[in-house]
Structure 1
Amino acid sequence: MNDTLSERQFVLATDLDGTFLGGSSADRQALYDWIEAHRSSVGLVFVSGRDPAFIHQLCGSGQVPWPEYVIGDVGTTIAHVTQDRTIAPIMDLERQIAERWRDGGDRVRSTLESAPGLTLQPTEFRYRVSYDYDPDQFDPATTRKVEAMGFDVLISDNRFFDVLPQGVSKGPSLLRLLDHLNIPQAQVLAAGDTLNDLSMLVAGTPAVAVGGSEPPLLSALPDAAHIYRAEGIGTAGIFEAIAHFKLHPTPERV
């Protein structure tokens, strides 16, 4: 992949589920085709709770364009896509994440083994532990236990509970990647739809909460000129925001 994103007119940094994978099939295809037709001026970064294996399978299937970079695992993976389509961690950026995690996976799993309202997800991520979350059974004291261990808690879509290294989430990881690549924040659009996208949408770049975003995200977002609340669902909302911020010429249909 071409690594010179700083030379692109516009970079889309987007969540996947409900955002880049959201909207009608026609709207999704329109955005994907537009990106592929403008690769010389448009860069693509996935900023997702999904892991690299899922993203590799998704892109390898031809369903979506390949990104140049991947921020995965709710910000705990920062990687680039190589010429042979490998999603390879950028060690200079991940080193700080690993230091903050302190090989905490086993300690977190042991501490939360019997926590009510949490069901451990089977995948063992490198720098996070993830659970399915039942708000009706959950004990808020669990959050305090995690924070006392020196980790952060992120609850999203009212059904996922992530334990993360302190200070690490989508927004901080996106800003570190942009700084690493010398990409001005003003030419980047951050797009999301759930509460785990909040840190990315308030990070300072132009940002959009696409149509259909979960109410807790919309309630948490401040009223700010650089944050746009789109009407269009998923990919339609991304197109809507690109036009709103005048980040890149878009099709007349928008």
Structure 2
Amino acid sequence: MHFLSRDPRLLLATDLDGTFLAGDIASREQLYHLISVHSNLQVAWITGRSREDTKDLLADPTLPPPTYLICDVGATVFGVSDMQPIEPLQSQIDASWPGESVVDHALKRFSSLTRQKESQERRCSYYCSPEQFRAIRGDFECVVNMLGCEFLYSADRYLDVLPKNTCKGSTLSALVNMLGIAPKRVLVAGNTLNDLSMYNRGYPGVCVGASEQALLEETASMHLVLHANAPGCGGILEAIEHFNWFNWNFDFAHE
């Protein structure tokens, strides 16, 4: 594949586990090299991991460093160069969060939930099987609404309680708008249902190979979303070629 960019404003917004960190060695090396030599291409990591849990990745010399990092399923956003929150985006999210202790205490009545041990900021995250989730969903939703929060269930395992109106897609959209990047210059990539909110924002997107079936079903009718064959980085490379993303004249026929 041959890539040429004449547009100074390109942003790859990608999930990490199962997406940017996945794929065969050749595909990962090709994508990482492409990013490292392409000065006009910036990267935003958008992940369910916390800021603390990305430190080892940021220090990994084999990974091209991102410019922006959106963690905690959208609840934390900062610039990598100075590791400082991006304002006013972060303060707006903070204003919608009642606090970890308040949320966790209110949810202790659901004894089937197991709190994730990983570091968490502005969210409370639990493990929950599909059977357990079906059993508690109605009552759980009521409690979360009373807290002024919202929840996201993904991969038949992860249950995240987040600030109101906060998700990967909302924080990415706010960042893109603040930066003034045209939507068609943003390429989103993911593989599970907690990435769904990134795909309905008017950006070209890719569900990489081996994505969660629920995500594939939800995005099946979205004409800007490619269901790639290759997993991880290979799927992102497929999308770059499919959308002719680096061509500055590229436009969508249906926009």
TM-score (norm 2): 0.88
Q: Which segments of structure 1 move beyond 6 Å, counting only runs of 4 or more?
A: none
Which residue is equivalent to 1:209?
207
Which moves more between the two structures, 158-167 or 218-227?
218-227
C-alpha contact (below 8 Å) 2:98/2:147 kept by paired residues = no
SS of alignment partner, residue 228 of structure 1 = strand
* 1:41 positional shift: 1.9
The amino acid of 2:11's aligned partner reads V
C-alpha contact (below 8 Å) 1:117/1:136 kept by paired residues = no
Q: Over aligned residue pairs, what C-alpha RMSD do you find? A: 1.6
Which residue is equivalent to 1:46?
45
TM-score (norm 1): 0.89
* 1:124 positional shift: 5.0
Which residue is equivalent to 1:191?
189
Q: Hey, what's the Cα distance between the residues in 1 that align with 2:198 and 2:105?
A: 30
Which residue is equivalent to 1:149?
147
- 1:30 paired with 2:17, answer no
1:192-238 deviation line (CA, Å, top 9, x unaligned): 00000000112211111111100011111251321111111111010
Instruction: Work out the number of aligned pairs and report it.
Output: 238
Gaps of 5+ in 2: 1-6, 248-255
C-alpha contact (below 8 Å) 2:69/2:80 kept by paired residues = yes
1:243 to 241, 244, 249: 241
Which residue is equivalent to 1:96?
92
C-alpha contact (below 8 Å) 2:190/2:207 kept by paired residues = yes
Which residue is equivalent to 1:107?
102
SS of alignment partner, residue 146 of structure 1 = helix
Label 1:175 to 1:231 Cα distance change in 2 as closer, same or farther (>3 A).
same
Q: Hey, what's the Cα distance between the residues in 2 that align with 1:205 and 1:243?
A: 15
* 1:116 positional shift: 3.8
- 1:68 paired with 2:64, answer no
SS of alignment partner, residue 49 of structure 2 = coil
1:111-157 deviation line (CA, Å, top 9, x unaligned): 11141431012345331111112222332122332123221010111
Q: Hey, what's the Cα distance between the residues in 2 that align with 1:219 and 1:12?
A: 23
SS of alignment partner, residue 91 of structure 2 = helix
C-alpha contact (below 8 Å) 1:192/1:201 kept by paired residues = no
